[in-house]
Amino acid sequence: MYAITIPEPGGPEALVWDEVPDPVPGEGEVLVEVVASAVNRADILQRQGFYDPPPGASRYPGLECSGRVAALGPGVSGWAVGDEVCALLAGGGYAEKVVVPAGQLLPVPEGVDLRQAAALPEVTCTVWSNVFMVAHLRPAETLLVHGGSSGIGTMAVQLAKALGARVAVTAGTKEKLDYCAELGADILINYREQDFVAEIERATDGAGADVILDNMGAKYLNRNVQALAVNGRLAIIGMQGGAKGELNIGTLLSKRAAVSATSLRARPLGEKAAIVAAVREHVWPLFADGHVRPVVDRELPMSDAAAAHRVVEESGHIGKVLLVAP
Ligand SMILES: NC(=O)c1ccc[n+]([C@@H]2O[C@H](COP(=O)([O-])OP(=O)(O)OC[C@H]3O[C@@H](n4cnc5c(N)ncnc54)[C@H](OP(=O)(O)O)[C@@H]3O)[C@@H](O)[C@H]2O)c1
């Protein structure tokens, strides 16, 4: 088969479409013939040499895919050759074939095209596990999503609205904020021109956000805690603004607030399977109802993953950038 390899870390040109051995499914695994994959920020860090795949994972980039089941390893039940699926991966999605633990497979949701289903596993699992399983966002609460027009952000806005929350977003341009409004966002904050703490206070009559989904890490840590409501929950999923910040524990104490941080890729198989099962149960029906849809900025050939990485690195996209296998 062909896959995107990274012979030497570096810029987008480090991604090389090359012939490699076919993967073979082991116990409890399924071989998927890939139709499409999608770009995640983590793939860029991996390409640059800053984010090695966890032990046992494929060396090739790609944290999600859609495709058809091509073979079943020993001990797999509930799936059949030819099934149309999408999958959460620890790596290897930028390839014509990939091996997936059976617990990380999902059927293509009703109403979603097989190719576009590649845009779903990473964003639905990350948003569901952080905003709902950890931070327990409830109907009528206010969620602040930083980077509202990102792959993660566009799914967070839709899921929170579908479940009855009020949603605030930050983004860097009016075009991106307008798109978030189309998805249902109620409070629009341009992070280049406005102070999100002041804007959240104003929009919530001083109460603050009940839950914040944060991609910035250190840079926003203190301001996020300031923007939280009493009993608020800050869920950190990214470090685009650095890893080491200063936390005002006094503010956290007085608000009886909580800070969590999780990374999906390196979690044990059992935890990933539990998240995937919860997503299938709670999120998948929302696609059939038309409440939620994949947001795909563009589709590019997988062999030209470099072009897709350039788009994402320049933040030239809204939602997800797909890589379509030949
Ligand atoms: N922990 C996990 O398990 C996990 C899983 C998946 C993703 N993530 C993380 O989630 C984040 C989003 O991922 P993605 O793939 O959806 O990325 P993406 O589409 O590339 O989006 C990155 C976002 O960052 C926003 N941004 C940049 N500077 C900002 C600032 N100062 N304030 C607010 N937003 C800012 C961008 O907004 P503009 O375009 O408007 O500038 C853009 O929306 C990344 O940090 C990624 O690493 C974590």
Indicate which CATH number applies to the domain containing 251: 3.40.50.720
Ligand 1 centre distance from Cα of residue 77 (Å): 36
User: Are the C-beta atoms of 60 and 91 separated by less than 8 Å?
Assistant: yes
Beta bridge partners of 190: 171
Residues 158 and 47 in one domain: no
Pocket of ligand 1 (CB under 6 A): 40-42, 122, 126, 146-147, 149-153, 170-173, 176, 191, 215-216, 237-238, 240, 262-264, 312, 315
Question: Does residue 194 lie within any of the structural domains?
Answer: yes
Joined together, the tokens standing for residue 1 give: 């088969």
Question: Does residue 316 lie within any of the structural domains?
Answer: yes
pLDDT at site 27: 97
Ligand 1 centre distance from Cα of residue 152 (Å): 7
Joined together, the tokens standing for residue 309 give: 């990485």
Taking alpha carbons only, the member of 170, 159, 121, 169 closest to residue 137 is 159
pLDDT at site 319: 98
Question: Does residue 105 lie within any of the structural domains?
Answer: yes
Residues 141 and 73 in one domain: no
Residues 47 and 155 in one domain: no
Nearest protein CA to atom 45 of ligand 1, as residue? 238
Residues 135 and 247 in one domain: yes
Q: pLDDT (tens digit, 0 to 9) for every residue of the chain, 326 residues total?
A: 999 999 999 999 999 999 999 999 999 999 999 999 999 999 999 999 999 999 999 999 999 999 999 999 999 999 999 999 999 999 999 999 999 999 999 999 999 999 999 999 999 999 999 999 999 999 999 999 999 999 999 999 999 999 999 999 999 999 999 999 999 999 999 999 999 999 999 999 999 999 999 999 999 999 999 999 999 999 999 999 999 999 999 999 999 999 999 999 989 999 999 999 999 999 999 999 899 999 999 999 999 999 999 999 999 999 999 999 99
User: Are the C-beta atoms of 40 and 150 separated by less than 8 Å?
Assistant: no
Question: Does residue 44 lie within any of the structural domains?
Answer: yes
Residues 115 and 18 in one domain: yes
The residue whose two tokens read 């984010």 is: 51
Question: Does residue 171 lie within any of the structural domains?
Answer: yes
CA distances for 53 relative to 47, 90, 119, 182, 193, angstroms:
11, 7, 20, 36, 37
The residue whose two tokens read 């860090």 is: 45
Domain range holding 92? Answer: 2-120+289-324
Domain count of the fold of the chain: 2
Q: Assign residue 38 the CATH number of its domain.
A: 3.90.180.10
Residues 94 and 213 in one domain: no
Which of 129, 191, 215 to mutate for ligand 1's pocket (most ligand atoms within 8 Å of CB)?
215
Residues 241 and 145 in one domain: yes
- Residue ending a domain, among 261, 281, 315, is 261
CB atoms within 10 A of CB 91: 22
pLDDT at site 206: 98
pLDDT at site 189: 98
Joined together, the tokens standing for residue 210 give: 């009940």
Residues 88 and 129 in one domain: no
Ligand 1 centre distance from Cα of residue 145 (Å): 10
Joined together, the tokens standing for residue 52 give: 């090695």
Question: Does residue 269 lie within any of the structural domains?
Answer: no
Residues 115 and 190 in one domain: no
pLDDT at site 174: 98
Residues 132 and 256 in one domain: yes
The CA distance from 69 to 83, in Å, is 5
Question: Does residue 267 lie within any of the structural domains?
Answer: no
Residues 106 and 46 in one domain: yes
Question: Does residue 67 lie within any of the structural domains?
Answer: yes
- Residue ending a domain, among 245, 261, 277, is 261
pLDDT at site 259: 98
If DSSP codes are grouped into helix, strand and coil, which group holds residue 17?
strand
Residues 143 and 239 in one domain: yes
Closest ligand 1 atom to residue 172 Cα is 40
pLDDT at site 109: 98
